[in-house]
Amino acid sequence: MLSFLKEHKFKFIGYGLLLIIGIIFPIVSPNRYYLTVATLGFIYAIAVYGLNLIVGYLGQLSLAQAGFFGLGAYTSGLLMLKLDLNFWLALPLAAIITTILAVLVGLISFRTKGHYFVILTLCIGVIINLVIEKWDSLTGGVRGLIGIPLPNPIGPLEFKTLESQYYLVFVFLLITIYVMNRISSSLLGRTFRSIRNSEDLASTLGINVMYNKLLGFAIAAFFTGIAGALYASYIRFLGPEISTHHLTFEFLLFLLIGGQATVAGPLVGTLIASVITESLQFAQEYRMVIFGLMLILIVRFFPGGAVGEARKLKVKVTDFYNRRKAGNYPSGPGAGSSKGKLGVPSKGESHVTKN
Amino acid sequence: MLLKTEHLTKNFGGLTALNKVDFEINEGELVAIIGPNGAGKSTFFNVISGFYRPSSGTIKFMGKEITNLETHNFARLGIGRTFQTTHLFTDSTVLDNLIIGYRSKTKMGFFDAIFYSPRSRREENMCREKAEEILDFIGLLEFKNYPVANISQEAAKRLAIGLALVTEPRLLLLDEPAAGINHGETTNLANLIKKIQQSGITVCLIEHKMKMVMNLAEKIMVLNYGTKIAEGTPKEVSENERVIEAYLGGVEHA
Amino acid sequence: MDLFLQQIVNGLTLGCIYCLVALGLTLIYGIMEVPNFAHGHFYMIGAYVTFFMMTLYGLNYWLSAIIAGIVLAILGVLLERLVFHPMRHTPATNKFIAAVGAMLFLEALARVLWGSDYRNIPSVYDNVVQIAGIRTTEQKLIIIIGAFVLMAALYVFIKKTLIGSTIEAMAQNRDGASLVGIDVNRVAMLTFAVASLLAAAAASLSGPIFLVYPGMGNIIIMKAFVIIVIGGMGSIPGAVIGAFILGMAETMGATYISSSYKDIVAFAILVLILSIRPSGLFARGVR
Ligand SMILES: Nc1ncnc2c1ncn2[C@@H]1O[C@H](COP(=O)(O)OP(=O)(O)OP(=O)(O)O)[C@@H](O)[C@H]1O
Ligand SMILES: [Mg+2]
């Protein structure tokens, strides 16, 4: 048990910090505005976790994400407004409906590969957006949906105050992070990552690539749908712009800032991006100028994002430290064989071919 | 009979890479496929491992027709393979590569993962044990925590074989396992292949290194321009007129 | 019947604009394997340059269009040098994301510099003309003729010059062609220049009949992607055919089915095609 704790030291510290900071934030926050920023940031972060599963773990650049977010939001909003459903019924229904649609989308789009997949998912996102915008009688078109009810109280717990809404969203964020962490550290996460690394190899090892992509896509859509539903009842107004590809690109940016295929990345990235946005208050119109540039700079120079680059740094530092300690690292047999690579000792390398 | 192909044909556009190949592999055998460059050897592997769909013809494995199954089912039924250019999961360690190789033998799914069910724990341990067993078998145990990018080419070749072995195949297809490694390493590799056969796995090998093929194989099929031109024991094949002609007409290989 | 002929002309006009944009996109894709997301925003900037040349400096329409073409060609080369060239060995996903970044940057920059208002390039040629019983405007004729002249020029460039035929060879056959002794850098830069120039031309030609605003590149870039997917990514004739198919389908869809859902037509076609043929209509790969 102790060794388990030690091995996952950073993880536990991370969780502890998240929990403590998350809980005390509303108490210490100097102004209520920050609370609204944090709540919205958490909602977005949940959607970014979904995206991370597809883009980060499965390596499939799906650009329909905002479409699913909008779908979750509108489904929940409409269920509450038009059918008077309870929030606690509307939310799971919205997530499930989003998931079902995502599976249908996945069945079509995962048959395509590479750029075709990217463009196809982008177009599917655009179709969802256009349907939301044009289906005036249902969605209110460009005028949007107004007056979506607050989440219904659970017993004595009401969600009328900003603080209570913050905690509600925070709990959902924690659930999301827990699930993503479990996926990431299980065989399922390994399966997803193997598909990202080489679909061909994964399938020759007996892994059903299509099934796993669909599974990842469905889980991602489920959480994105939840994020959408939370958004609907938090902002209480929905317009078609929450489903445009611009929001997809923002999610993508948040993910890249934080670091794809990491458990902390989506939250870290979303929070960093929120802080940047807020510090640009006086120059809001420059926001996307800066984000656009950041996107280019990140993929060019820091593809690992904040978490990924930090991890690389940590490896470098421990490596350096070990080397100093051991004098000569690594010390396994075969070290220092040909081409500076490590491996089974070889007896001279007479005819290494081009292969 | 473990594997049987009938009239197996594969066209790439106008090119016939495989032309009506009939071939049989019996349980426990060590067979080899040889032929000049571009003869269709790798294509044959790609088709019988489910990686490519054949244009026509059938594949039977353990008496069951498997021609139109999806790629992952070939592996699940017991056909393991390596690629001509070494394919590994480059972003992880030696051990992690083999762990994922055992995934198809496990059943845990999404809910096992999020609830950390006993099954998921048991299967994760199973994967780890199996991976270490294979690492020991291929002689890479001490490198288990090395990133794949840091091991030598010869070790990577062994690991690729290990990756195919970890799926517990009945039939193992090795595409030029000895390409690009030196003489001493080739001998080690030949020993490994023998060891694999002795452990009860049927092996089919593509190789240009004739000495190795002649020493190892019990049966050889020769392909040329996608067509089977000879089949038999190493002795029979090496004396076959058409084979000698094909090799003299094409490029000579070491 | 009259309406039908009218719509044929409209579809042709739209097809011409799509064609110029899609040709550039397919060329860039063929050479660099970059789905250049910023291409539609080059179209947008081309429209703004034309607009400002005419309104601020009082230049005439044609001169403004030429200046827009030159400015955009330079911008295209800059984008290639600063973003795509340094990233040529990175995974496809990274290049795609960089292109998205460039797109977001350009749109936001346009918003900051020029505001979000809708503008209109002053139309000099808005007389109605009647040809063979079809009523249309001079501007539409100019679009059609202009686009065909440019396509012919591109054809001559590709078929008759060495560098042009190199571009074609590289675009259509990325891995197969043995391209010894070719300055890949020069080809890449030239491709971006030509492609961006075509986008600017599309914008200058269509500016007088469309609105000019920072987000105008968004829809057209996606339609251009739909077109090159229909025609086969990297294929030059495919882009031309795809553009006219889409131009016609949209115009007819808007007239005879529903005008409010007209933008969906393009994307629905794409989804349909890729559902039936996952590797595009004219796929070359086999498996
Ligand atoms: N995916 C593909 N698409 C098109 N042609 C292919 C494909 N794979 C193989 N070919 C062609 O099929 C023919 C047979 O190729 P194959 O790789 O099977 O040869 P091989 O016998 O393995 O040769 P080598 O000894 O060089 O590995 C070659 O002409 C090759 O170019
Ligand atoms: Mg081969």
Distance CA B133, CA B141 (A): 8
Q: How many CB atoms lie within 10 A of CB C28?
A: 29
The answer, for A200 touching chain C at a CB cutoff of 8 Å, is no
Below-50 pLDDT ranges, chain C: 176-178, 285-287
Q: Does A134 touch chain C (CB under 8 A)?
A: yes
Any idea which residue has 């049989």 for tokens?
Answer: B24
| A289/A295 Cα distance (integer angstroms) | 10
Residue B155: closest CA among chain A residues belongs to which residue? A343
Residue B228 pLDDT level (bands cut at 50, 70, 90): very high
**Three-class SS state of B80:** strand
Instruction: Please tell me if residue A186 touches chain B, with a CB cutoff of 8 Å.
Output: yes
Tokens 């078998």 correspond to B137
Rounded to an integer, what is the distance from CA C44 to the centroid of its chain? Answer: 11
What is the residue whose two structure tokens read 């001559």? C156
Which pLDDT belongs to residue C256?
Answer: 79
- The CA-atom distances, in angstroms, between C217 and each of B54, B132, C222 are 45, 55, 9
CB contact under 8 A, C97 and A111: no
Q: How many residues are there in chain A?
A: 355
pLDDT in tens, C93-132: 888 889 989 999 999 999 889 888 888 887 777 777 777 7
Q: CA-nearest residue of chain B to C287?
A: B52
SS3 of residue B27 by DSSP = coil
For residues A22 and A160, the answer to whether their CB atoms sit within 8 Å is no
Helices (H), C80-161: 92-114, 138-160
Residues B35, A157: Cα–Cα separation, whole Å = 76
- From the CB of residue C86, how many other CB atoms can be counted at a distance below 10 Å? 13
pTM summary value: 0.88
Edge-to-edge strands, sheet with B227-232: B79-81, B171-175, B202-206, B30-34, B219-224, B227-232
Q: Does C25 touch chain A (CB under 8 A)?
A: no
Backbone angles phi, psi at B87, to 5 degrees: -110, 120
Residuewise pLDDT in 10s, chain A (355 residues): 566 666 677 778 888 888 888 888 888 887 888 888 899 999 999 999 999 999 999 999 999 999 999 999 999 999 999 898 898 999 999 999 999 999 999 999 999 888 889 989 999 999 999 999 988 888 888 888 888 888 887 878 788 888 888 999 999 999 999 999 999 999 999 999 999 999 999 999 999 999 999 999 999 999 999 999 999 999 989 989 999 888 999 999 999 999 888 888 899 999 998 888 888 776 777 888 888 888 899 888 888 888 888 888 887 887 777 777 665 444 443 433 333 344 333 333 333 333 3
CA–CA separation, C152 and C171 (whole Å): 18
Closest protein CA for atom 26 of ligand 1: B37
Say what the pLDDT of residue A294 is.
87
List the beta bridge partners of residue B202: B171
**Nearest CA to A219 among A8, A323, A68?**
A68
If one residue of B10, B15, B213 were mutated to test the ligand 1 pocket, choosing by the most ligand atoms within 8 A of its CB, it would be B15
By three-state DSSP, how is residue B15 classified?
strand
SS (HEC) of B101-134: HCHHHCCCCHHHHHHCCHHHHHHHHHHHHHHHHH
CA B58/CA B143 separation, integer angstroms: 41
Beta-carbon separation of C274 and A108 below 8 A: yes
Say yes or no: C287 contacts chain B, CB-CB below 8 A. yes
Ligand nearest to the CA of B33: 1
The closest residue, in CA terms, to atom 8 on ligand 1 is B43
pLDDT of residue A3: 62
Ligand nearest to the CA of B83: 2
- Residue entry with tokens 């288990």: B144
- What are the Cα distances from residue C125, in Å, to A320, B16, C150, C199, C213? 71, 59, 19, 21, 21
How big is the CA angle at B49 (ends B47 and B51), to the nearest 5 degrees?
Answer: 65
Q: How many Cβ atoms are within 10 Å of C184's Cβ, its own excluded?
A: 14
Closest ligand, as measured to the CA of B227? 1
Q: Rounded distance, CA C244 to CA C250, Å?
A: 10
Please name the chains neighbouring A, where neighbouring means 3+ C-beta pairs under 8 angstroms. Answer: B, C
Kindly state if the Cβ of B17 falls inside 6 Å of ligand 1.
yes
Buried b (16+ CB within 10 A) or exposed e, A58-88: bbbbbbbbbbbbbbbbbbbbbbbbeeebebe
* Amino acid, single-letter form, for residue A215: L
User: Of C277, C287, C263, C267, nearest to C232 (Cα)?
Assistant: C277
Structure tokens at B85: 């250019």
Q: Is A344 on the interface with B (CB under 8 A)?
A: yes
Contact A187 B108 (CB under 8 A): yes
Residue B57 CB–ligand 1 contact under 6 Å: no
Q: Hey, is A297 helix, strand or coil? A: helix
The 10s digit of each residue's pLDDT in C258-270 is 777 777 888 888 8
Q: Is the CB of B12 under 6 A from ligand 1?
A: yes
- Tell me if A96 sits within 8 A of A226, measured CB to CB: no
Q: How far apart are CA C258 and CA C256, in angstroms?
A: 6
Q: List strand residue ranges (DSSP E) for B126-184, in order.
A: 171-175
Kindly list the distances between the CA atom of residue A270 and the CA atoms of A47, A276, C21, in Å, as whole numbers in the listed order. 10, 10, 35
Q: Which residues of A100-113 are buried (b: 16+ CB within 10 A; e: fewer)?
A: ebbeebbebbbbbe
Token representation of residue B166: 């970890």
The set of residues, in sequence order, having a beta carbon less than 8 Å from that of A322 and lying 6+ positions away, is: A329
Taking the C-alpha atoms of residue C214 and residue C108, their distance in angstroms, rounded to an integer, is 8
Give the largest Cα separation in chain B, rounded: 65
| Interacting residues of C200 by C-beta distance below 8 A, sequence separation 6+ | C42, C43, C45, C46, C49, C50, C65, C68, C69, C71, C72, C73
CA-nearest residue, atom 31 of ligand 1: B38
Task: For residue B129, count other CB atoms closer than 10 A to its CB.
Answer: 12
Q: Does A112 lie at the interface with C, CB-CB under 8 angstroms?
A: yes
Q: How open is the CA angle C32-C196-A115, to the nearest 5 degrees?
A: 35
* Mean pLDDT, range B207-227, rounded to an integer: 91
- Determine the residue among A52, A65, A130 to mutate to test chain C binding: the one whose Cβ has the most chain C Cβ atoms within 10 Å: A130
Residues of chain C found within 8 Å of residue A285, distances taken between Cβ atoms: 108, 111-112
Per-residue pLDDT, A9: 75
Q: Is B25 exposed, middle or buried (0-12, 13-18, 19+ CB in 10 A)?
A: buried
What is the full DSSP assignment across A223-240? HHHHHHHHHHHHH-EE-G
The verdict on A69 touching C (C-beta cutoff 8 Å) is no
Residues of C in contact with A252 (CB under 8 A): 97, 100
| Nearest-ligand number for the alpha carbon of B35 | 1
Nearest residue on chain A to B127, alpha-carbon basis: A187
pLDDT digits (tens, 9 = 90+) for B116-175: 889 999 999 999 999 999 999 999 888 989 999 888 888 999 999 999 999 999 999 999
Q: How far does the centroid of ligand 1 lie from the alpha carbon of residue A207, in Å? A: 25
Share of chain C above pLDDT 70, in %: 93
Is the per-residue pLDDT at B250 higher than 90?
Answer: no
Cα separation values, A212 from A191, A206, A216, B110, Å? 8, 12, 6, 10
By Cβ distance, the residue of A208, A344, A346 closest to B139 is A344
Q: Which residues does chain C have within 8 Å of residue A108's beta carbon, measured at their own beta carbons?
A: 271, 274-275
Give the DSSP letter of residue B32.
E
Q: Are A80 and A244 in contact (CB under 8 A)?
A: no
A-chain CB neighbours of B116 within 8 Å are 182, 186
Phi/psi for B79 (5° steps) reads -110, 110
How many beta-carbon pairs under 8 angstroms link A with C?
125
Across chain C, which distance is largest between two alpha carbons, in Å? 58
Non-local CB neighbours of C87 within 8 Å, separated by 6+ positions:
A299, A300, C94, C95, C98
Whose Cα sits closest to atom 20 in ligand 1?
B38
